């Protein structure tokens, strides 16, 4: 079968590799669509594992089923989550599913950017979801990123009437914009250096869009919050300056959501005195679990979020390198999707 092998950001080759062999409790899925995630573009995060097949936002059709598999059959249209928890360890019992040791050891094989991928038994049993007829394969690729954002929003505890600043208006920044309004935020301020993305943010509910090249974010936030700062800041841009900007617009007693990692060695300095006397809360949120993927699917199915509007570019599997180049360099791209058959 064909698979896109990642060697580095500028070296992605479509090569022939063996089609995975399934066990009695596994299924083989023919990939129909798989989104490119922001983490797929972080070379520092990937270089130690290369070469490898990326792709963890996949949807497809089951083409082979192990004899012991129940509740799934050949022909089922499915979304598959690449990581699942054990549900039994200390972390899982506290609801911290993404910190479970098993979570990091369960993966689809070889990855979503391939003609076929194998779904191991744990992934199949816990977080493989049948796609309703009204949802396309492309829309189903948004289940995982939407789930990630849902988890972050829930951890941060948005209250009705809150003010929210979102720094970074890529696909997840725009999803956060929608979810903030959906869960009752009164005012959502979105900041990004790219006007194209800011226009999208406005379509998804942003009340105010700020390009820091033309306006001072702190001044805008202060004017809109009577000088207090916002109740919640969500940083989706993976750089220290974005986090500094986030801290500068967060009110006393406010929350800063760490939604994007930075490169190793990048340090954000903050005084414990500032944390203590301002009672700031810093809330990281990594990945998503089987809980939020189901919520994400229902939200997409309801039509309340128009997932397909986030997809700006589509490429066949043989053009995966071009898809990555677009996601990296094209300022007028949001979600880039690689298509299978």
Helix (H, G, I), strand (E, B) or coil at 130: strand
- Structure confidence at residue 225 (pLDDT): 98
131: left (phi over 0), alpha (psi -120 to 50) or beta: beta
Taking only the tens place, the pLDDT of each residue in 205-235 is 999 999 999 999 999 999 999 999 999 999 9
Are residues 264 and 199 part of one domain? Answer: yes
How far is Cα 34 from Cα 324, in angstroms, rounded to an integer?
Answer: 12
CATH value at residue 223 = 3.40.50.720
Residues of the chain with pLDDT > 90, as a percent, come to 99
CA dist list (Å): 75 to 83, 131, 300, 338: 23, 11, 22, 21
How far is Cα 327 from Cα 37, in angstroms, rounded to an integer?
Answer: 9
Residue 295's Cβ-count burial label (10 Å; 0-12, 13-18, 19+) is middle
DSSP state of 153: H
Residue 85's Cβ-count burial label (10 Å; 0-12, 13-18, 19+) is buried
- When pLDDT is averaged across residues 195-207 and rounded to a whole number, the result is 97
- Structure confidence at residue 218 (pLDDT): 98
Rg of the chain in Å (alpha carbons):
20
For residue 143, give the nearest of 48, 66, 54, 79 by alpha carbon.
Answer: 79
Residue 73 domain-assigned (yes or no): yes
Are residues 18 and 55 part of one domain? Answer: yes
Residue 263 domain-assigned (yes or no): yes
Are residues 131 and 209 part of one domain? Answer: no
Half-sphere exposure of residue 71: CA atoms within 13 angstroms, side-chain side = 9
Are residues 274 and 168 part of one domain? Answer: yes
| pTM, to two decimals | 0.97
Taking only the tens place, the pLDDT of each residue in 87-125 is 999 999 999 999 999 999 999 999 999 999 999 999 999
* Cβ atoms 285, 148 nearer than 8 A: yes
For residue 75, give the nearest of 61, 92, 55 by alpha carbon.
Answer: 61
Domains: count for the chain = 2
Are residues 211 and 120 part of one domain? Answer: no
CATH value at residue 121 = 3.90.180.10
Find the domain containing 84 and state its range. 2-141+306-339
Are residues 20 and 135 part of one domain? Answer: yes
* Cβ atoms 318, 15 nearer than 8 A: no
Are residues 125 and 245 part of one domain? Answer: no
* Cβ atoms 330, 313 nearer than 8 A: yes
For residue 341, pLDDT beyond 90: no
């Amino acid at each position: 079968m064909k698979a896109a092998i990642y060697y580095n950001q500028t070296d992605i080759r479509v090569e022939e590799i063996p089609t995975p062999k399934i066990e009695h409790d596994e299924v083989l899925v023919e990939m129909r669509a798989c989104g490119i995630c922001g983490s797929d573009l972080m070379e520092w995060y990937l270089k130690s594992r290369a070469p490898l097949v990326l792709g963890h936002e996949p949807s497809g059709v089951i083409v082979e089923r192990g004899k012991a598999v129940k509740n799934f059959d050949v022909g089922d249209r499915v979304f598959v989550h690449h990581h699942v928890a054990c549900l039994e360890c200390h972390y899982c019992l506290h609801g911290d599913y993404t910190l479970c040791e098993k979570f990091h050891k369960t993966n689809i094989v070889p990855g979503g950017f391939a003609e076929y991928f194998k779904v191991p038994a744990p992934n199949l049993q816990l977080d493989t979801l049948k796609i309703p007829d009204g949802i396309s394969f492309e829309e189903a690729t948004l289940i995982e990123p939407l789930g990630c954002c849902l988890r972050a929003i829930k951890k941060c505890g948005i209250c009705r009437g809150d003010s929210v600043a979102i720094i970074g208006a890529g696909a997840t920044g725009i999803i956060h914009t929608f979810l903030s309004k959906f869960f009752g935020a009164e005012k959502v301020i979105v900041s990004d250096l790219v006007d194209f993305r800011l226009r999208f943010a406005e379509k998804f509910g942003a009340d105010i869009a700020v390009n820091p090249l033309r306006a001072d974010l702190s001044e805008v936030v202060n004017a809109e919050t009577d000088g207090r700062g916002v109740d919640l800041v969500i940083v989706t841009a993976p750089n220290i300056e974005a986090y500094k900007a986030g801290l500068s617009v967060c009110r006393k007693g406010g929350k800063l959501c760490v939604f994007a990692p930075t490169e190793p060695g990048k340090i954000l300095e903050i005084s414990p005195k500032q944390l203590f006397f301002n009672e700031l809360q810093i809330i990281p949120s990594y990945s998503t679990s089987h809980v939020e993927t189901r919520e994400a699917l229902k939200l997409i199915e309801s039509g309340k979020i128009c997932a397909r509007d986030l997809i700006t570019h589509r490429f066949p599997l043989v053009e995966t390198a071009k898809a990555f180049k677009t996601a990296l360099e094209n300022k007028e791209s949001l979600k880039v999707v690689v298509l299978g058959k």
